[in-house]
Each structure stands twice: as C-alpha cells, then as structure tokens.
Amino acid sequence: MSDSEIKKNYKKKINELIKHNKLYYIDSSPKITDRKYDELKKELLDLEKKHTFLKNNLSPSRTLGHKPSKSFIKSKHRVKMLSLANAFDAKDLENFEKKIFNFLNKKIEIEYSVEPKIDGISASLTYKNGLLVMGTSRGDGTTGEVITENLKTINDIPQKITNIDFPKDIDIRGEVFIEKDDFKKLKNDFANPRNAASGSLRQKNPLETKKIPLNFVAYTYGYFESNKIKKQSDFLMSLKKWGFKINEHNKVLKTIKDLEIFHKKFENDRFDLKYDVDGLVYKINNLDLQNRLGFTANSPRWAIAHKFSADSAYSIIKDINIQVGRTGALTPVARIKPVNIGGVVVSNATLHNEDEIIRKDIRLGDTVKVERAGDVIPHVVLVDLKKRKKESKKFVFPKKCPCGFDTIKEFNRVTKKYDAVRRCPDRGFECEKIAVEKIKHFISKEALNIDGLGKKVVENFWNLKLIRYPQDIFNLEYAKISKLEGWGDLSVSNLKYSIDQSKKVSLDRFIYSIGIRHIGIENAKLLAEHTKSITNFLNLIKNKKFNEFLNIDGIGETQINSLKKFFENKSNYKIIEKLSFMLNITDLKLNKDGKFLNNTFMFTGKLSNMSRAEAKSFIEENSGSVVSSVNKKLKYLIIGDKPTNRKVQKAKELGIKILSQKEWLNLLN
C-alpha cells in the first residue's frame, strides 16, 4: 500500500470510530459490540505504531476513547481546582520563596509539607454529613464533570464516613491513578498510566471503570466548612483517620537545602514505587499562611511542584520551521524524526529563539538530544557533534517574518541587552501569522472561552477566509460552515450556542482577550478594577491618558509602553471599539458584603508587616477599594515608613482619617 492509501484507510477507520463514539456516548445506542469497538481502536493504534506519519486529533491514542465531555453533567467547583507552578532547579525554588517573602514583605522560616506528585488525574469528592454526595473531575479548573458513579467504583474512596470529627461539609481532593503493573495489562490501549486512569474514569458506563483497577490518594481540600486544622501535615493525618489513603512518603521539611536533598534521593528511589511519580509537591505547612498567600490566576502562591528530570532520546533534525506567536515572537521549531520519549511519540521540539540556535550551533541534519517532562514542550538540549556531517552549514535565522515584514530585536533598557527573541513588529492584524494567533488567544479559555471553537477550527476558518478579525467570529456564515467536511447541523448549532454565550464577558477577561503584550490575566484584572467599565477604559485610551494607569499598584512602565504601542495602531482601537458594541462587557462585580463596603483606602510609605499587594487584596476581599490620590472621597490614609508628607498634609486639610500601621492592623483584626 502507498502512503496515501494507508492515510486514506486510516482516515476511514477514524471516521468509523467517531461514528461509533457518537452512537455509544451521545445517542447511547451502540451499533457494534464492545469487542468490535475495541478491535477497531486497536487497529487504529497498530496503524499509528507502524506508520508514524499517521496522526489525527481524534485518534484513540489522543482522545483515550473517553466520552466527549459534553455528555457529562457539569458542576461548578465551590473552590477552583487550580494547577501548580513548576520548579526544575534550586534557582526556581529560591524564586518561589522570594516571591512569598515579597508578598509578605518579610523573610520568615518556612515549613513545608512535602508530598510525592503522583502522575494521575485529580478528582474532587463532596461529602455532606459523612456521605459522598458528588464526585467531579477537574475539568477546566472552574467547572468539572460529574463522575460520581465512576468514582464510587474505586475501593480507596469511602462512601460513608462516621468519624465524629469529620467535617459536615467538605470537598476532599486527591489523585486517581493506576499502578504500573496494572498498566502493563492495558499497554495496547493507552499511551501511559495517566491516560489509562483518565480514560477509565471518564467512561460513560461505571462498569467499564470498574474493569480497570484504579486507586485514590487524598492530599488536599476545596470547600471546608469551619476548618480548625492548622497544618497541612495534620490535615493529612486527619485524612488517614477518616479512612482515606494518603501517600506514605509525605514528610515535613524546612529549608530549600533539605528539599533538594530529599528530591535528589527520591528521584532515584521512585523507580521502586508501584506507581509513576513525576516530581514532589512542596506546600507551605501552615494553613493560615496558605490562606494569607492565596492564589495567582492559575496556581497557589503557597505550593510548587518540583519536577524530576525529564525523559530524553536522540533524534535527527529534518527541518527547522519558524512559528510566529501572538506577540510577534519568532520561535524556531525543529521537525525531528519521530521518536518515543517516555511513552509519547515526539516529532517537534522547540529551539526557543534565535540566540539559542546560535549558542548551541544547531543545524539541519544534526543528531540532537531531545527532552520532555510532563506537560512541558519537548526541547533540544544538545547536539551530538560527533555525528555531524562535514558538509553541514550553520543555520541562518530568517531576518524576515513569514508574512514578509522585516523583523527586529528589541533593546531592553533595563538589562541593557538586546532581546534573545526576534520579533515581527506587531502591526496589528497586518501580519497574517500574528493575526491568526491573536484570534486563537481571543477564544482561549481564560479569554472569551468559546467552547467548540478550538485552535484547529480557527486555523481552518482562517484558511477558508471565514475569519480575519476577532469580530468576524460574531458574524460567521453558519450555513456555509454546516456544509464543510466534519461539520453537521448539530455541531454548527453547538458552535453558534457557545459563540452566543461568550458574548457576555467580564471587563477583565475582555481586556485580557485583546492580547496586548505584557497584559496577562493578572494585569488585565488590575486594569479592569481601575477603569471599572468598558466605557471608562475606552475613554482613557482615546484620550491617551495612559499615565493614569501608573497609579495602579502592579502596573509599570513596561505595561504602559506596551499599551501605548498597541493603541498607536488605529486599527487596533477600531477593532476593540467594534467588539465593545457587539459584546455585552460587564463591569467588574465587586464583593458587596464585606465590612469595608464603600470605604476607600490609600497608602503612603512602606508597610512593615505586609506588602501593598497583600493589603490591597485584604481590602478588596472585604468589599473596599484602594485609590491613588487624596481627595474628599478618601476614607482612610494609612501611613507606613517614610510617608510622602504632601499626601499626609492634604489628608489632614480634608479631615480624612489617618491611620498608623498599628491602627490599620487593628482595623483588619
């Protein structure tokens, strides 16, 4: 069979599988036996193994055969299920601690609860009055899929807890995983133990879940009614007492040095464990301190995952392509001869940027060592120079963007160095490569979150010229789309529904969705909190009052310059304005039942017990707000070390309450 015939045959089988998935999972009326279905899956997996060029996002090797999430009932987590930031070395750990000290405004001795990071999938179990009433998957972190019945098939999960001190209402969270030996029996169906656990847990029929021996260890909580426990290590002990399995290798350690020593030892010992561990999790042991530190957009400030070194393999660079990102960064990507690294076939590896290629002298045809760790993108670590051919030539990094514009290397005024990254200067939507990436960002989870309009669909619509700008999403020609390959009436109506739903968006998400460089989700929130409504935001931009943003704690020159640059391009402003007419951009909802409701605060001078960021988050949690100038509306001026006298003087003149740091702490209680 020729390659194209093999591809055709493969595609036919994929379509068959899609049809049967729908019959089984959505219509609940399978037309073939389970055995025939398994055979079809196996044929596809065998084909992929034999012909590495076969790839399809809907292949069972990628979708794990699990049920499309739409058919599970969803439930909003009472407390978000976030992920963890990663550390790879001591420097990352030092930075983690440094950020904590900055947040607290002082150095303290930290005690850590150290826990192995089992490579499975997380689940949340809600117990009310001792009964397991609901179990959910993590989903997108905000909303999970209700998989109670499947979770109930796991022996490690207690369904009734009678201990007197078991909280009346609590979400217990932990990891569902499969042991290495059990995975061996399923090797043909799944790429790795993690996929096996995930595939099994999300089966429509709990009896299918029961067939695969799943385990559960508990390690944290979500919602917890009247929590009296003071330490994570005590919480783990309580879990054990209540009948949950916890990891037997948990321990409490103090310094980064001790964490490193334990990490080094555990990294070698982990191979003797019955399950896969991809790192260690370090959590601040003191739960009050955890509360105080809180979360950033994606992860807690009080925990970090220290990963083990990556799996690696050697391969050959067949080509180097340049990818252009949303902010114009040119990223070189090596297309390598497909190679299996730790259970996953890898055919692309990032080369990061131009400087990295020069530094490592990476060339076409080179034999290179490629590493991958967890979800991190595979990257080239080194070149095997002994294998380099004599005729090989240095790689010349293109000076033009694939869109045709000349590229630039920016000079960083702070570091006094040229950027390692070469960029296509962002000319709004004129660079086609940037434009399509901007649209992908616009629809992404943390932005407009348009379910059903994934990155691949955006690319497809872009190629078909159905979209050129974000606003085109709201004027799609659905009749045309329903005639495209892979689309039908049902999928088009689902798409239309999720696009319509996305029209209602909060101001912070909207600002983030615009995709301005240096304005991530956190900065977008700060801008939204400051401007309060889209009208105010647009007015400030229109009147070029960018410097007003300098009053915002957390927004600096880099962000202001980026905003200026973005809006210098008139077409960018027009797009945002158009979107503001088409969308229902809601003002930021403020917490309306705290003790500081309608109270405004201002700080001058350095606070000694906490950072400004923490003070601000306290005030906002209690429905108050922080302002940046002294005027009649100000309620409290809090004076730290070395205050600005002018501000204090003005506050006195206006009769505003002036608080010392001690009085401020008393007010906070």
Annotated active-site positions, please? 117
Site string for ligand IVH, 114-133 (x = CB under 6 A): -x-xx---x-----------
Q: 159 or 296: whose CB is closer to ligand IVH?
A: 296
Residue 495: half-sphere exposure toward Cβ, Cα within 13 Å: 23
If you search the block for the tokens 């036919």, which residue do you land on? 12
Residue 83 engages ligand IVH in binding (rule: CB under 6 A): yes
| Least distance between ligand IVH and beta carbon 116 (Å) | 7
Give residues 29-58 in contact with ligand IVH (rule: CB under 6 A). Answer: none
With beta carbons less than 8 A apart as the criterion, state whether 205 and 34 touch: no
CB 105 within 8 A of CB 640: no
CA 250/CA 269 separation, integer angstroms: 14
Nearer to ligand IVH, 189 or 276 (CB): 276
182 sits near ligand IVH (criterion: CB under 6 A): no
Interface characters, 276-315, with ligand IVH (x: CB under 6 A) = -----x------------------x--x-x----------
Nearer to ligand IVH, 221 or 442 (CB): 221
What is the C-alpha to C-alpha distance for residues 636 and 648, in angstroms, rounded to an integer?
A: 11
**Tokens found for residue 364:** 């076409």
Nearer to ligand IVH, 122 or 209 (CB): 122
Give me the least distance between CB of 241 and ligand IVH, in Å please. Answer: 18
Q: How many Cα atoms occupy the beta-carbon half-sphere of 118 within 13 Å?
A: 27
Element (H, E) at 502: helix 489-502
CB of 330 to ligand IVH, least distance (A): 30
CA distance 560 to 547: 7
**118 or 626, CB closer to ligand IVH?**
118
Q: By CB under 6 A, what part of segment 196-255 binds ligand IVH?
A: 219-220
Q: Compare residues 138 and 509 and give the one whose CB is closer to ligand IVH.
A: 138
Least distance between ligand IVH and beta carbon 616 (Å):
22
Angstrom distance (rounded) from CA 442 to CA 463: 17
Strand (E) positions, 77-130? 85-87, 112-118, 121-128
* 354 contributes a contact to ligand IVH by CB under 6 A: no
Identify which of residues 84 and 638 has a Cβ nearer to ligand IVH in the complex. 84
Closest separation between CB of residue 275 and ligand IVH, Å?
Answer: 11
DSSP-derived 3-state class of residue 503 = coil
Please answer whether residues 418 and 410 qualify as being in contact, where contact means their C-beta atoms are separated by less than 8 angstroms: yes
Per CB under 6 A, contacts with ligand IVH among 147-176 are 175
Q: By rule CB under 6 A, what count of residues binds ligand IVH?
A: 15
Chain centroid, CA 330 distance in Å: 22
Q: How far apart, in whole angstroms, are the C-alpha atoms of residue 325 and residue 510?
A: 20
Q: Give me the least distance between CB of 114 and ligand IVH, in Å please.
A: 9
* β-bridge mates for residue 346, sequence order: 339
Q: Which residue is nearest to ligand IVH (CB)?
A: 122
User: Segment near ligand IVH (CB under 6 A), from 80-88, 145-153, 199-207, 393-401?
Assistant: 80-88
Q: In 143-296, where does DSSP find H-type helix?
A: 148-152, 180-184, 193-201, 206-211, 232-242, 256-269, 287-293
Strand partners, 125: 135, 172
Q: Residue from 44, 84, 511, 541 that binds ligand IVH (CB under 6 A)?
A: 84
Measured at the CA of 485, the angle between CA 482 and CA 490, to 5 degrees, comes to 40
Interface with ligand IVH, residue 145, by CB under 6 A:
no
Q: How far is the CB of 295 from ligand IVH (least distance, A)?
A: 7
Q: Tell me which residues touch ligand IVH (CB under 6 A).
A: 82-84, 115, 117-118, 122, 138, 175, 219-220, 281, 300, 303, 305
